[in-house]
Chains A and B, each alone.
Chain A
Amino acid sequence: MIKTLTIIFVSSILVDNYVLTRFLGICPFLGVSRKLDQAVGMGVSVIFVMLCATAVTWPIQIFILDKLGLGYLQTLVFILVIAALVQFVEITLKKFLPSLHSALGVYLPLITTNCIVLGVAINNITDGYNFLESIVSSLGVGIGFLFAMVLFSGVRTRLENTGVPETFRGLPITLVAASIVSLSFYGFAGVIEGMLS
């Protein structure tokens, strides 16, 4: 049990990093990674929303959609539930935890239609995880996202002081840098096999 959970957790952070190997959540990865504090704020908000979204969408899929044979409504229901949930979380935080709201409030509305949140919710169902596994996997993906954002913000700070060829300035060099960061994550490919043996 613990072993399965550990494998899910580690593989979703390092081996199967959603941003760098599955290309989910590219928009915030490229858009909000210029400063370290923004990258951290965005990453923490994504972890938070992703945990809430999984905790809500998993029971909906298993106890409502599957029971009633409405599996084909998955996409429609999930996106609406996540959108409503983000609004709800924002209002709740504002009311009861204003200090947390002032730290994360800026990022919450940006996550509503983020593909990483919807992607994780759907993948947890497709992979047949149970509730605990889904939560652990979401936590892992979230931490993996935060990890990638923090690493990449460091790379981008360095990039700003380098002499980049004129055509590559801006977005192209950012993408090439992302390619190299993604390449470095290839080194983790054997980690899970090592854990199993």
Chain B
Amino acid sequence: MSKTNKSSLSILLRGIIAENPVLVLVLGTCPTLAQTGSVISAVGMGIAAMLVLVCSNVVISLLRRVIPDTVRIPCYIVVIAGFVSVVQMLMNAYLPDLYDMLGVYLALIVVNCIILGRAEMFASKNPVGASALDGLGMGLGFLLTLFVMGTIREVFGAGTFAGIKIPFLIDYNFPILKSPPGGFFVFGCMIAVVNAILKKRGKPVREEAGCEGCPSFEACERKFDKSADTPLEEGKNQ
């Protein structure tokens, strides 16, 4: 019993620290960059994505023996799009301000590679309980990263925290951090910090944007020979 408890705790914690989806796996960069201009929108985005991630992981895990292998990606997309629509409608009804703030990025959770990636890599191979925990862990990792980045950008970019004014910083801040270029810059620096920590611990560091969650990962891997650096002719490497 204690052993299963320990393993489920490790599934949960893995998503938050060791395999943090944004900083270590470098997935889901679009919402991370776009929605961290303020703490409120960052937390809203994180919670919405976490809800979709947990629900879709549970359903896909339940259906893992039913879904035929050849059409699994469209099936996953339908399940995810269904939950995204549910979250959209709930948020429009109860949190209309946040709904307007997130705008099109809420609908774009459908193509967020964290969610599709967890469906493909974890939920389609594991039982329901573990999948739910994995979704929760990854979702919390995403939420926490967005919160930290949103805090950095809002506190130093606008001198406020979730709308509350901070003395001194309100007069002396760097508005560029809140704007799109600041998003790229802060994200780059955060990944650099994580890379430094990973290197110190002797773990491999990611050189490129994460591709694991991308449904076209296999097609991409096959067609772009990374070492040759040029697209191969189709069927040449068979």
Contact = CB atoms under 8 A, between A and B. Distances in A.
B85 A75 contact: yes
A72 B181 CA distance: 33
Contact of B208 (A115, A171, A178): A171
- Residue from B85, B220, B229, B234 whose CB has the most chain A CB atoms within 10 Å: B220
B111 A115 contact: yes
Interface in A94-151: 105-106, 109-110, 112-115, 118-119, 122-123, 126
Contact of B84 (A75, A167, A174): A75
Contacts of A168: 188, 192
Interface stretch (B10-18, B43-51, B74-82, B130-138): B74-82
A6 interface: no
Contact of A170 (B103, B206, B229, B234): B206
Nearest to A75: B107
A64 interface: no
A73 B107 CA distance: 11
Helix, strand, loop or mixed for chain A's interface?
helix
Interface string B94-113: 00000000011001101111
Interface stretch (B25-33, B54-62, B149-157): B25-33
Interface in B1-47: 26, 29-30, 33-34
Interface in A146-197: 166-176, 178-180, 182-183, 186
A62 interface: no
Contact of A172 (B82, B107, B111, B192): B192
B161 interface: no
Given A27-B113, A30-B209, A122-B107, A76 B181 contact: no
B211 interface: yes
Interface string B207-238: 11101001110011001100001110010000
A20 B180 contact: yes
Interface in B156-197: 176, 179-185, 187-189, 191-193, 195-196
A74 B107 CA distance: 9
A175 B110 contact: no
A171 B181 contact: no
Nearest to B217: A110
A3 B216 CA distance: 40
A118 B111 contact: yes
A146 B32 CA distance: 22
B121 interface: no
A173 to B, nearest CB: 7
A59 to B, nearest CB: 19
Given A23-B30, A75-B88, A106-B223, A123 B104 contact: yes
A113 B215 contact: yes
Contact of B111 (A31, A35, A72, A114): A114
Interface of A: 20-27, 30-32, 34-35, 37-38, 41, 72-76, 79-80, 83, 105-106, 109-110, 112-115, 118-119, 122-123, 126, 166-176, 178-180, 182-183, 186
29 contacts: A30-B29, A34-B229, A35-B229, A38-B224, A72-B89, A74-B107, A75-B85, A79-B81, A106-B234, A110-B219, A113-B77, A113-B111, A113-B214, A115-B108, A122-B108, A167-B192, A167-B193, A168-B188, A169-B207, A171-B26, A171-B195, A171-B206, A171-B209, A175-B187, A176-B189, A178-B184, A178-B188, A179-B184, A183-B176
Given A26-B33, A168-B188, A182-B180, 8 more contacts: A22-B180, A75-B88, A106-B223, A115-B30, A171-B195, A172-B189, A175-B185, A178-B184
